[in-house]
Chains A and B, each alone.
Chain A
């Protein structure tokens, strides 16, 4: 089927808006539901401070919501954007942007729910330390949003940068692959970061004195859990900015598409696994603060091992881009 340029762009924009908002709505809703469930439990434990818990729940849910608001922004942009220099390539870029943002919002949305829920529960246990808990929740869930922010950046670049000079045939696959790589890789990292942040809120509620070392280990753990999404960002930048020579073969675009798929799916597991390692470390730092440096070192070594699968995915997708 051959489409006229305007028709192709319209089709891509409408499909893309649906993908971006549809997938983007999944994560945040689950995260917010978890927060509300924990808040209910917290209020039933300690009904005297239900007002504080309710406030904290709303703030936490607002942060968890932000990833799906990013998706909404991209969807609205796709629906109402006037393309100044329409080409068939722009249609592929729109589709890539939608895939990146839609998938990218899932993990961060679910993840941000954990610190919010645990902070609500922690306030019920330790009403005196509610300000520390809220601060830690804000830091933790803001860092959780980083994969979603990366996805949004890739989506915005695909939507706004003018790629009109690139040859159509391999580049369309590069753009779709770019979106898939960033979007899918962000799922695991967002979720994993949330696990670490949730454990830190729970830990602070247990031993409020250890707040400094718990927050430090949480930040380091979350940062390492984000590594797969950083690899996804790297692959999608390479796919976006490398100029590919024009080719009529079907094999070249497929290689680029599967480079994106490889890095994207390869990033999901390591992100969640690293998050679990960080969760364990943070939880036990809260119980045994003197050993925090040893725990952090073990966490990093363990994360490096579970990261290796993301590195294999990165190596394969770089081979697919540069060699094949």
Chain B
């Protein structure tokens, strides 16, 4: 039970400061990158009119996510943002599924990954807002309904980052803690595989979808 709440860290001292790197997360993220790139190469290799199975899977993914983006953002903006949305969803899906393989850990179990992705979504949404409405109208939004609501509006925007990143982190980390504790209590008999299927595949898919949808919707709230 000693692993509970422990993180493997590489600490490099540089001129009196300590640079801390969460080794496990970095390695696992690279594994996800390699898997994604391999999948992409296989899906787009020798494209045919009559698609091979892996090409069909790739096209299905892209068309479903493209449709979702178009529903929320409209035709024009969907062209700009749907590649981002597809990449985000596939990265999260593979990351969340990685934990069902023994000895591998989900990169999304670490707050740094999810916070980074949340910050990315936040900045992209605000960039899109400024680009479509203009800077004056964008700033003016913060002084709605009355000017002294400004600090609360800013805190409300920042709370979106906290909620979106902690939602993913809490679900994935919670799942892994419950699996760890139940495996310890039942001596790895019967229950852990079922729990892995539930938290890894089911909850992982739902949370990847929710994170992606929320990123799209935050962009659409800023744009319109």
- Does B bind A? yes
In B176-196, which residues have CB < 8 Å from any A CB?
Answer: 177-178, 181, 185
Residues of B within 8 A of A227 (CB): 159, 163, 167
Contact of A304 among B156, B178, B203 (CB under 8 A): B156
In the complex where A230-B163, A307-B156 touch, is A297 in contact with B174 (Cβ < 8 A)?
Answer: no
Report Cα–Cα, A161/B163, bound state, in Å.
25
Contact of A297 among B171, B206, B221 (CB under 8 A): B221
Task: Say yes or no: is B43 at the interface (Cβ < 8 Å to chain A).
Answer: no
Task: Say yes or no: is A49 at the interface (Cβ < 8 Å to chain B).
Answer: no
Is A234 a contact partner of B162 (Cβ separation < 8 A)? yes
Task: Say yes or no: is B146 at the interface (Cβ < 8 Å to chain A).
Answer: no
Report Cα–Cα, A52/B71, bound state, in Å.
35
Is A293 a contact partner of B72 (Cβ separation < 8 A)? yes
Task: Say yes or no: is B213 at the interface (Cβ < 8 Å to chain A).
Answer: yes
Contact of A219 among B159, B175, B209, B224 (CB under 8 A): B209
Render A225-252 as a binary contact track against B, CB cut-off 8 A, 1 for contact.
Answer: 0110011011000000100000000000
In this complex, how many residues of chain A approach chain B with their Cβ under 8 Å: the count is 38
Report Cα–Cα, A296/B73, bound state, in Å.
12
Is A220 a contact partner of B156 (Cβ separation < 8 A)? no
Report Cα–Cα, A153/B167, bound state, in Å.
13
Report Cα–Cα, A213/B213, bound state, in Å.
12
In this complex, how many residues of chain B approach chain A with their Cβ under 8 Å: the count is 35
In A167-220, which residues have CB < 8 Å from any B CB?
Answer: 213, 216, 219-220
In A275-324, which residues have CB < 8 Å from any B CB?
Answer: 292-293, 296-297, 300-301, 304, 307-308, 311, 314-315
In the complex where A219-B209, A226-B167 touch, is A297 in contact with B178 (Cβ < 8 A)?
Answer: no
Residues of A within 8 A of B178 (CB): 149, 152-153, 156
Task: Say yes or no: is A150 at the interface (Cβ < 8 Å to chain B).
Answer: yes
Q: Give residues in A with beta carbon < 8 Å to B.
A: 77, 139, 142-143, 146, 149-150, 152-153, 156-157, 160-161, 213, 216, 219-220, 223-224, 226-227, 230-231, 233-234, 241, 292-293, 296-297, 300-301, 304, 307-308, 311, 314-315
Is A234 a contact partner of B166 (Cβ separation < 8 A)? yes
Give the shortest distance, in Å, between B203 (CB) and chain A (any CB). Answer: 7
Is A219 a contact partner of B210 (Cβ separation < 8 A)? yes
Is B209 a contact partner of A297 (Cβ separation < 8 A)? no
6 tightest A-B CB contacts, nearest first: A153-B174, A227-B163, A223-B210, A230-B166, A293-B72, A156-B181
In B110-167, which residues have CB < 8 Å from any A CB?
Answer: 152, 155-156, 159-160, 162-163, 166-167
Residues of B within 8 A of A156 (CB): 4, 177-178, 181
Is A153 a contact partner of B177 (Cβ separation < 8 A)? yes
Give the shortest distance, in Å, between B219 (CB) and chain A (any CB). Answer: 11
Is B170 a contact partner of A142 (Cβ separation < 8 A)? no
Report Cα–Cα, A209/B214, bound state, in Å.
23
Residues of B within 8 A of A231 (CB): 159, 162-163
Report Cα–Cα, A77/B152, bound state, in Å.
42
Give the shortest distance, in Å, between B23 (CB) and chain A (any CB). Answer: 20
Is A297 a contact partner of B155 (Cβ separation < 8 A)? no
Residues of A within 8 A of B170 (CB): 150, 153, 230, 233
Task: Say yes or no: is B68 at the interface (Cβ < 8 Å to chain A).
Answer: yes
Residues of B within 8 A of A220 (CB): 210, 213-214, 217
Give the shortest distance, in Å, between A217 (CB) and chain B (any CB). Answer: 9
Beyond the given A216-B68, A315-B155, please list 15 additional residue pairs across the A-B interface where CB-CB is below 8 A.
A152-B178, A160-B181, A161-B5, A219-B210, A220-B217, A223-B210, A227-B163, A230-B166, A230-B167, A233-B170, A297-B217, A301-B221, A308-B152, A308-B156, A314-B159
Q: Give residues in B with beta carbon < 8 Å to A.
A: 1, 4-5, 68, 71-72, 152, 155-156, 159-160, 162-163, 166-167, 170-171, 173-175, 177-178, 181, 185, 202-203, 206, 209-210, 213-214, 217, 220-221, 224
Residues of B within 8 A of A146 (CB): 171
Report Cα–Cα, A158/B162, bound state, in Å.
23
Report Cα–Cα, A308/B114, bound state, in Å.
23
Give the shortest distance, in Å, between A197 (CB) and chain B (any CB). Answer: 12
Name the residue of chain A whose CB is nearest to the CB of B157: A304
Is A292 a contact partner of B155 (Cβ separation < 8 A)? no
Contact of B4 among A150, A157, A226, A292 (CB under 8 A): A157
Report Cα–Cα, A242/B155, bound state, in Å.
23
Give the shortest distance, in Å, between A230 (CB) and chain B (any CB). Answer: 5
Is A297 a contact partner of B224 (Cβ separation < 8 A)? yes
Is A311 a contact partner of B159 (Cβ separation < 8 A)? yes
Is A307 a contact partner of B221 (Cβ separation < 8 A)? no
Residues of A within 8 A of B71 (CB): 213, 292-293
Is A300 a contact partner of B217 (Cβ separation < 8 A)? yes
Residues of B within 8 A of A150 (CB): 170, 174
Residues of A within 8 A of B206 (CB): 139, 142-143, 219
Report Cα–Cα, A223/B212, bound state, in Å.
12
In the complex where A157-B5, A311-B159 touch, is A142 in contact with B202 (Cβ < 8 A)?
Answer: yes
In the complex where A139-B206, A293-B72, A307-B159 touch, is A157 in contact with B177 (Cβ < 8 A)?
Answer: yes
Report Cα–Cα, A224/B210, bound state, in Å.
10
Residues of B within 8 A of A152 (CB): 174, 178
